[in-house]
Amino acid sequence: MDSASSNSLFKPPVLDGSNYAMWKSRIRYTIKALDERTWQSILNGWTPPKTLGPEGDYILKPETTWSTEEISISSYNAKALNAIFSIVDMRMYGIIADCTVAKNAWEALQEHCEGSKSVKRTKITLLNSKFENLIMDETETIAEYDHRLRQFATEAYYLGASIANEALMNKVLRSLAEKFNGKIWALKEVKDTSKMKLTDLISTLKIFELNSSTQKKDKGKSIALQVSNESYDDAVNLTQEFSKLDLGDESISLLTKKFNTYLKKMKENQDAGQRQKQLALPSPVKNQIQSSVQDK
């Protein structure tokens, strides 16, 4: 794999304003991967070196006179600022274009996308309310419900209000569809659910769901086979009654022959275990039989 392809695998998505939460989480580790001190420059900020001026006040120190340590510290700020500039769209870039300190650029984007602290608190309150009202739909699978649950957990994490494993566990146990009530009751009898991990609980519920689905399919096949057997017996009885009729009509004899051939094929399929659906006699056969009997 070439260098360009390798770098693209680890490059966070471009910030467009709507994806800030995910962008913020991913760029943090992108910058830390460059160098831990580069990330520290965002947390602690950077101040250009200054020196005492001729009039006794501090002025910016000419870059040509910077010490090795000052150059090194400046380079960490430059790396961080470059990383931020590289993964924002033009609209977001306009907000930080005049920034020369990575920390200032970071905080400007955060203020623009997250809002003030009061706005952030409001978002967290709304998220908590939605989380409390979250319940599993009767037609929903465990995997689908788990995905919805983790979306809430991820959004809370991005807002700095992580949901603890115990809270997620309690939410699952209290909000599952009614069909899982028996399983939850049995699980609580044999295990201390307060000490379980969410992944373990979800795995257990998926196994239960899979077993239940398999049992329903097997039951359905058994019912279909029973119906098939009963339908076949009814067809045989009808054929025997039909053969007793002395109609004397060549067309009816031919019809009987064709019907017996049809019945034979059905019997072969049944013996091979292939007949799964209820047998219905062809309507044209029934109609012609009834018509012939009435005419006679």
Asked whether residue 98 is domain-assigned, the answer is yes
Residue 278 lies in a domain: yes
Predicted confidence at residue 197, as pLDDT, reads 87
Residues 94 and 78 in one domain: yes
Same domain, 75 and 162: no
108 and 142 assigned to the same domain: no
Confidence of residue 249 (pLDDT cuts 50, 70, 90): low
Joined together, the tokens standing for residue 46 give 């950077």
pLDDT digits (tens, 9 = 90+) for 163-196: 888 899 889 989 998 888 888 888 887 778 778 8
In a domain, 210, yes or no: no
Quickly list DSSP for the chain.
--HHHHHHHHPPPPB-SSSHHHHHHHHHHHHHHH-HHHHHHHHH-----EEE-TTSSEEEPPGGG--HHHHHHHHHHHHHHHHHHHTB-HHHHHHHTT--SHHHHHHHHHHHHH--HHHHHHHHHHHHHHHHT----TT--HHHHHHHHHHHHHHHHHTT-PPPHHHHHHHHHHHS-GGGHHHHHHHHHHS-GGGS-HHHHHHHHHHHHHHHHHHHHHHHHHHHHHHHHHHHHHHHHHHHHHHT-----HHHHHHHHHHHHHHHHHHHHHHTT---S-----HHHHHHHHHHHHH-
Q: Is the same domain home to 108 and 121?
A: no
For residues 132 and 89, membership in a common domain is answered with no
Which residues are CB-neighbours of 221 under 8 A, at least 6 positions away? 276
Residue 83 sits in the same domain as residue 105: yes
**Confidence at 155, pLDDT banded by 50, 70, 90:** confident
Are residues 138 and 104 part of one domain?
no
Q: How far apart are CA 183 and CA 207, in angstroms?
A: 11
Same domain for 43 and 143, yes or no, is: no
Of 180, 196, 212, the position where a domain reaches its end is: 196
Asked if residue 260 is part of any domain, the answer here is: yes
Which has the closest alpha carbon to 76: 107, 45, 110? 45
The number of residues in the chain equals 296
pLDDT in tens, 103-132: 999 999 998 988 877 888 888 899 899 999
Looking at the predicted structure, is the pLDDT value of residue 242 above 80?
no
Q: What domain count does the chain have?
A: 3
- Does residue 18 sit in the same domain as residue 100? yes
With beta carbons less than 8 A apart as the criterion, state whether 259 and 239 touch. Answer: yes
> So what's the pLDDT on residue 227?
43
Please report whether residue 205 resides in a domain.
no
Of 95, 114, 133, the residue that ends a domain is 114
Q: What range defines the domain where residue 277 resides?
A: 228-295
Shared-domain flag, residues 25 and 90: yes
% of the chain surpassing 90 pLDDT: 33
* pLDDT tier, 223 (very low <50, low <70, confident <90, very high otherwise): very low
Torsion, CA 32, CA 33, CA 36, CA 38, rounded to 10 = -70
184 close to 196: Cβ distance less than 8 angstroms = no
Q: Is residue 171 part of a domain?
A: yes
Shared domain check, 188 and 258: no
Co-location of 85 and 161 in the same domain:
no
Residues 18 and 89: their CA atoms lie apart, in Å, by 11
Per-residue pLDDT reduced to its tens digit, 251-288: 455 545 655 665 666 666 666 554 444 444 445 544 55
Single out the residue in 196, 216, 240 at which a domain terminates: 196
pLDDT at residue 97 in the model: 95
pLDDT of 295 over the 70 cut:
no
What is the predicted pLDDT for the residue at 271? 60
Residue (of 121, 96, 94, 91) closest to 108 by Cα position: 96
d(CA 114, CA 155): 12
